[in-house]
Amino acid sequence: MADMTSIFRRSAPRAPQDRLVTLVRKPGCHLCDDAQSVVEKVCADLGVPWEQKDITQDPQLHDQYWEQIPVVLVDGAQHTFWRVNEDRLRKALTE
């Protein structure tokens, strides 16, 4: 199997602390507040860094995600929007 091309090999799993969760939100959004609670809990439990971005302060994020906020990105890729499932986020960060 050592000569198998990289296209067929699975990449090594990344440690949770090497991941990054981004919450794209806007002020005054109750769904965003709910999403932030889940993101904070899961990231604290796993030692995953996270950040939040205000959609009203970034025209590119506004154009891309306005109808979906809150949006959760894992390592820059969209993971979910509107409602964040704690178990699904935890699984995405540990696989």
Tens digits of per-residue pLDDT, 42-88? 999 999 999 999 999 999 999 999 999 999 999 999 999 999 999 99
When comparing pLDDT for 10 and 48, which is higher? 48
CA-CA distance, 38 to 14, in Å (whole number)? 21
Cα separation values, 60 from 39, 66, 69, 80, 81, Å = 22, 10, 14, 18, 17
Answer whether residue 39 shows pLDDT above 80: yes
Encoded tokens for 62: 């506004």
Q: Are strands 77-81 and 50-54 parallel, antiparallel or unpaired?
A: unpaired
pTM over 0.85: no
